[in-house]
Amino acid sequence: MNIISGGVTAAKGFKASGVHCGIRKNKTKRDLSLILSENKANVAAVYTKNAVKGAPLTVTKNNIANGYARAIICNSGNANTCNANGIEIAEQTCNFLGEALGIDAEDVVVASTGVIGLPLDIEPIKNGIPGLINALSENGSRDAAEGIMTTDTKVKEVAVEFKIGDKVCKIGGIAKGSGMIHPDMATMLVFITTDCNISTEMLSKALSSDIENTFNMVSVDGDTSTNDMVCILANGEAKNTKITEDNEDFAIFMTALNTVTVHLCRCIAGDGEGATKLLECKVSGAESLEIAKKVAKSVICSSLTKAAMFGADANWGRVLCAIGYSKQKVDVNKIDVSFKSAKGEIIVCKNGAGVDFSEEKAKKILLESEIEILINLNSGEFCSTAWGCDLTYDYVKINGDYRT
């Protein structure tokens, strides 16, 4: 299992592009992206559970009901959400792209991100499609990744190489996500491609299983987006024996998929709006997986804990507070808490009570850009990890005038 370059174009048979089509006023920013499989691919997707959903999610769900897709198109800068003609715009996008590519409109996955509630004009998208297609390249992953960014400050892409039998397979992904991230399915927008030969049923099983321990364990600000989607295309170009059941090959695929999704989770959490630090909360010693997950997510969502991490303040009481209101079965008198970074590790709580520790050492540890919050419940064998970021002054600045 090796990390490689190439993102969504690392796998055989995929091209991608990203261009500026005119949705954004800033002409230096790409605002329309395309991922294309040379052949029809099996597809699986998961969507936000927010009751208010972007129109593209509805159209995509209908389009891929047959289990196949060829292309993914996404605009940024203006979300197609809460628009009276949103469905029409999403369908038109699929139609225009399908016609230009010579494929069925139903073989198009459509997505959208940006400001919610503003009317979205179809003309920039329609006019931008020819240039988008002309720009398609086997090296176009980064352009596509740039084209789906909103308040993101960093491009998020990764790819992995692995073997199924004697065949080399590749899987890669791009993502966008910086704010409005507290998923209840996946997170923001994530597009994954693979040349592994795997059935639609097993692809769907893999994705649905993976997100529960990856994207659903990320939180930046407690707000669940209306546009969240994770989609994966598998075109089978690696020519491995087709994965149609839960066997050793499927386990290898799951490991590769998880390598990609965990990397993207860390990228998203570390690039939270205004963030200066990636927070990784690792809970061990829980009675059940559910307890471990809910405790980890509760801590990573705690505004007070996030603020303390921003200030490099080893205020471990805020961690215990968050564990307490997670409403999980825990024995407070058994809980241990430590903070860890590249500068070392320091225990700050033992058996639910404070211990003597060096505030100076703790400060050095917490001044690093990646912080681990280690919690041992000492009550079982289950563990879980959640990802988040610190809460800074800039988060309020960014969101105070996000629309205007």
- The Cα 6–Cα 378 span in angstroms is 42
Structure tokens, 147: 């084209």
Question: Residues 207, 287, 299, 225: is their CA dihedral positive or negative?
Answer: positive
Q: List the Cα angle 138/142/146 in 5-degree steps.
A: 135
Residue 323's alpha-carbon distances to 60, 179, 285, 371, 378, in angstroms, are 38, 24, 14, 18, 14
Q: Let me know if 187 is a catalytic residue.
A: yes
Q: Residue 43 has what DSSP assignment?
A: E
What is the spatial distance between Cα 317 and Cα 295, in angstroms, rounded to a whole number?
Answer: 14
Per annotation, catalytic residue among 113, 187, 194, 385 = 187
Distance CA 290, CA 288 (A): 5
Distance, in Å, from the CA atom of 137 to the CA atom of 131, rounded to the nearest integer, reads: 12
CB contact set of 212 (below 8 Å; sequence gap of 6+):
none
Helical (H) or strand (E) element with 10:
none
Residue type, 76: S
**H-state helical runs in 195-340:** 200-211, 248-270, 289-301, 303-310, 317-324
Q: Helix (H, G, I), strand (E, B), or coil: what is residue 331?
A: coil
C-alpha dihedral, 54 to 387 to 1 to 239, nearest 10°: -10
Q: How far apart are CA 53 and CA 222, in angstroms?
A: 17
- Residue 363's SS3 state is helix
- Structure tokens belonging to residue 318: 């805020």
First to last CA, the chain: 45
Q: State the catalytic residues.
A: 187
